[in-house]
A = this chain, B = another copy of it.
Amino acid sequence: MRVALLAHEEFPDRAKTAVGVLRYADHDVVAVLDRETAGDTVHDHVPDVQDAPIVASMNDVDESIDALIIGIAPIGGGLEESWRPDIRTALQQGSDVIAGLHYFLENDAEFRALAEEHGCELWDVRKPREDLGVADGVADSVSADVVLTVGTDCSVGKMTATCELVDAAQERGIDAAMIPTGQTGIMIEGWGNPIDRVVSDFTAGAVEEMILEKGNDHDLLFVEGQGSIIHPAYSAVTCGILHGSMPDALVLCHSVGRDEIHGYDQAIPPVGDYVGLYESLSAPVSEAPVVAGALDTRAAGDDEAARDAIDEYSEALGVPATDPVRFGVGPVLDAL
């Protein structure tokens, strides 16, 4: 799929989705839209992803695209009216538009009319499909092995670890695929259920449905985890993914220096405690040992300090560990 990424005034630091797509998606990115850095290229800002020109608007995109992806998520999830001309232009050219906003494009009369007129689609990835339902408890019936990333908290690198694992497994010649559960993962993969937005009774079912869809076409599935099993707000989502995916193994993700649940007055227990929590909660539904750890060491300093932090983390968990970005996921794949 050939795409353009809208990231006005936010690229690259506050454009997590755009950078995720550049780094991990199979899409061919023909342009990034950012009126502030227009004229630069992606490599001027992020060297280790696919390159693309940065342009000021859809009018400056010379090549045809299949879709315009909204690659930023403003606080509140609204639609910035300054994006409207770009979305309009994309639709007029017959391109789909993909967004993860709270504001649904398909409820916008102008966009809907243009999409109908030009035969293209509006895809609001935060809007769950209508036909989801309760889990049947049969995700373990697929032929693929299922590995789930779990975490000590939100934003400790579960999506990154999942993407890195899929890429590295494929490089080793393993037929691996990702099961995306959040909006960035869904945009990277081009499909998926936004688990945090489904009806709570369907949380496990919405994951199971994806496993059943893909589990006999691949040898190894990596499920993108969400939240943490002890998160005071989001643990329901975590628990539903754990039981809905019926994993064979878990990879525990953590971030150096994180000692409180982000944004909450709640201590993070010793990381070793999470191993018992996740394993004992999973076991009655599906035996799933924690087989490896993934540690975000950006806060650790240099590579030597990072190695020390990883060693300490590995020892606390009793399994191999790595920083997927800094040192690659080799040790995790070996452990699998």
Residues of A within 8 A of B (CB): 134-137, 195-205, 229-240, 242-244, 246, 261, 264-267, 269, 273, 276-277, 280-281, 284-285
Contact = CB atoms under 8 A, between A and B. Distances in A.
28 contacts: A136-B232, A136-B233, A137-B265, A195-B200, A196-B200, A196-B201, A197-B201, A199-B199, A200-B236, A201-B237, A203-B236, A204-B233, A204-B235, A204-B236, A205-B233, A230-B284, A230-B285, A233-B243, A235-B285, A236-B236, A236-B243, A239-B239, A239-B240, A266-B284, A267-B284, A276-B280, A277-B280, A280-B280
Given A196-B201, A284-B266, A235 B231 contact: no
B198 A135 contact: no
A137 B231 CA distance: 9
B280 A137 contact: no
Contacts of A201: 196-197, 233-234, 236-237
Taken together, the copies of this chain in the complex come to 2
Contacts of A232: 135-137, 204, 243-244, 246, 285
Contacts of A235: 204, 239-240, 242-243, 285
Contacts of A240: 200, 235-236, 239
A229 B273 CA distance: 18
Nearest to A282: B230
Contacts of A197: 199-201
A134 B205 CA distance: 21
Contacts of A203: 200, 236-237
A137 B233 contact: yes
A284 B229 CA distance: 10
Given A201-B197, A264-B137, A281 B284 contact: no
A237 B236 contact: yes
Contacts of A273: 284
Contact of A134 (B137, B234, B276): B234
A69 to B, nearest CB: 22
A280 B281 CA distance: 10
